Amino acid sequence: MKPTSFDYTAPNTVGEAVSLLADEEREAKVVAGGQSLIPMLSMRLARPELLVDITRIPELGRLHVDESGNLRIGAAVRQAHAAADNAVRDGWPLLAAAIGHIGHPQIRNRGTVCGSLAHHDPAAELPTAALALDARFVITGPRGTRTVLAEDFFVATFSTAVDADELLTEVVFPPPPAHHGWAFEELTRRHGDFATVGVAVVLERDTAAGTVRTARVVFCGAGPVPVRLPAAEDALVGSDAGEQARAAAARAVLAGLTPSDDVHATAEYRREGAAHLLVHACTTAWERC
């Protein structure tokens, strides 16, 4: 199929983009990398009258670490750019690793970090990485600018806190804890596919006690939004992340994770896979602490 006809414009400022999105006369949609939107247009799952290309807005092309040590990634920053950036690789390696699981180089060369977050496919890697890393989302619209926490940003499948007349302008990652280790692992049918199920783990080490001080465990492909599992985190906190603690965390997954069946896998397969992934990811994360 071919898309229905639409107009295209590439504004130079966020203000211009927002006023185009807020125009009630015609339905406008943001296009960033186009790696999800263009297929949706071709399948006529989306029929906007106007595409607002945000990749020519200079301030959105910025990736930097601010004076408080936060990593700030603008809405036009491509996934490949972020994954190759030294500040990202050194300070937020989980994010770089998660990007590495997205599709293929051609997709990552065009797709943006914020586009994946705004699109919010529940099997996508970046929403899960963002929740594991406690990201903040800066949203600008006709009513001003607001910042939303990761736990409030992902509302439902393909739905986020960004309204139709708003723009996700930036995602902000706070500095991770000093003594932390991480892992991002997923099950896929073929390399480059969306995750059948995946997990992001961040463990903070109490260096004096030699135990886990804090843990974040977040799954993708396990529900309509990225799923954080406090019971699995509780099983790890205070432990030495050894075999017993990892087994307890895996039991928490089997008891508490409620994925769905679909054409790719049964719920049971996903749950079992998630438990195995978590055991392995905890081992890796602890070694990296």
Ligand X SMILES: Cc1cc2nc3c(=O)[nH]c(=O)nc-3n(C[C@H](O)[C@H](O)[C@H](O)COP(=O)(O)OP(=O)(O)OC[C@H]3O[C@@H](n4cnc5c(N)ncnc54)[C@H](O)[C@@H]3O)c2cc1C
Instruction: Please enumerate in sequence order all residues whose Cβ is within 8 A of that of 173, keeping only pairs 6 or more positions apart, or say none.
Output: 70, 71, 72, 73, 92, 95, 130, 133, 134, 135
CA distances from 198 to 65, 136, 153, 177, 186 (A): 28, 22, 19, 23, 4
Using CB under 6 A, pick the residue from 18, 82, 95, 124 that binds ligand X: 124
Using CB under 6 A, pick the residue from 36, 128, 196, 239 that binds ligand X: 36
Query: CA 77, 17, 118, 110 torsion: positive or negative?
Result: negative
Choose the stretch contacting ligand X; rule: CB under 6 A; options: 83-91, 118-126, 128-136, 254-262.
118-126
Choose the stretch contacting ligand X; rule: CB under 6 A; options: 34-42, 65-73, 172-180, 200-208.
34-42
Q: Which residue is it, tokens 């280790």?
A: 181
Assess contact for 83 and 100: CB atoms under 8 A: yes
Choose the stretch contacting ligand X; rule: CB under 6 A; options: 191-199, 201-209, 256-264, 276-284.
191-199
What does the alpha-carbon distance between residue 55 and residue 75 come to, in Å, rounded to a whole number? 8
| Using rule CB under 6 A, residue 107 touches ligand X | yes
What does the alpha-carbon distance between residue 234 and residue 248 come to, in Å, rounded to a whole number? 9
Q: How far is the CB of 121 from ligand X (least distance, A)?
A: 6
| Using rule CB under 6 A, residue 18 touches ligand X | no
Which of residues 102 and 133 has its CB atom nearest to ligand X in the complex?
102
Choose the stretch contacting ligand X; rule: CB under 6 A; options: 26-34, 63-71, 247-255, 278-286.
26-34
| Using rule CB under 6 A, residue 114 touches ligand X | yes
What does the alpha-carbon distance between residue 251 and residue 136 come to, in Å, rounded to a whole number? 31
| Using rule CB under 6 A, residue 185 touches ligand X | no
| Using rule CB under 6 A, residue 219 touches ligand X | no
Question: How many CA atoms lie within 13 Å of 288's alpha carbon, on the beta-carbon side?
Answer: 21
Query: CA 146, 147, 149, 154 torsion: positive or negative?
Result: positive
| Using rule CB under 6 A, residue 119 touches ligand X | yes
Choose the stretch contacting ligand X; rule: CB under 6 A; options: 2-10, 107-115, 146-154, 244-252.
107-115
Which of residues 115 and 273 has its CB atom nearest to ligand X in the complex?
115
Which of residues 32 and 275 has its CB atom nearest to ligand X in the complex?
32
| Using rule CB under 6 A, residue 103 touches ligand X | yes
Which of residues 45 and 149 has its CB atom nearest to ligand X in the complex?
45
| Using rule CB under 6 A, residue 102 touches ligand X | yes
| Using rule CB under 6 A, residue 148 touches ligand X | no
What residue ranges bind ligand X (CB under 6 A)? Answer: 29-37, 39, 54, 75, 102-103, 107, 111-112, 114-116, 118-119, 124-126, 162, 167-168, 192-194
